[in-house]
Amino acid sequence: MERTFLMVKPDGVQRNLVGEIVSRFEQKGYTLVGAKMLAVSKELAETHYGEHKERPFFGELVGFITSSPVFAMVWEGENVISEARKMMGATNPQEATPGTIRGDYGIQVSKNVIHGSDSVESAAREIDLFFNEDELVSFKKTNSEWV
């Protein structure tokens, strides 16, 4: 059983897509084990996107993610890290398949609606960065044998 970190970015929150996005992962069968609205600080943004520090768009990226609140989530389930990436679609919404979140709701790469961890290591790092242990629950859903 895996856990992944997903985040509705400022454009998704402003466009009222939080409910739709939560609904997609719920209906798929994954379990939401933590969630919160937060305003990302410059420091948190720079740490979260640290691997992109040398990229030309780093300043734009940090400016965007701190521009308005985000909705941070931890989801649990079998292979949820890679499956959530499939459900999100390609980084550039114009390359994302229709039916994926970015394919359905995004146009520009800088406003691509959602972030999701891309590996077991980044999931662990990002969950730890955004959530305290006591903000996450651990439970078994009564319908789990049907999913």
Please give the positions annotated as active site: 115
Give min distance, CB of 143 to ligand IDP, in A.
31
DSSP string, 63-126: HHHTSS-EEEEEEEETTHHHHHHHHH--SSTTTSPBTBHHHHH--SGGG-SEEE--SHHHHHHH
Among 17, 96, 112, 131, binds ligand IDP (CB under 6 A): 112
What is the separation of C-alpha 45 from the centre of its chain, rounded to a whole number of angstroms? Answer: 14
Query: How many CB atoms sit inside 10 A of residue 25's CB?
Result: 21
Among 115, 126, 130, 131, binds ligand IDP (CB under 6 A): 115
User: For the window 54-93, what string marks contact with ligand IDP as x by the rule CB under 6 A?
Assistant: ---x--xx-----------------------------x--
**Is residue 110 involved in binding ligand IDP (CB under 6 A)?**
yes
Query: How many CB atoms sit inside 10 A of residue 54's CB?
Result: 6
DSSP 55: S
**Is residue 48 involved in binding ligand IDP (CB under 6 A)?**
no
Interface positions with ligand IDP (CB under 6 A): 57, 60-61, 91, 109-110, 112, 115, 118
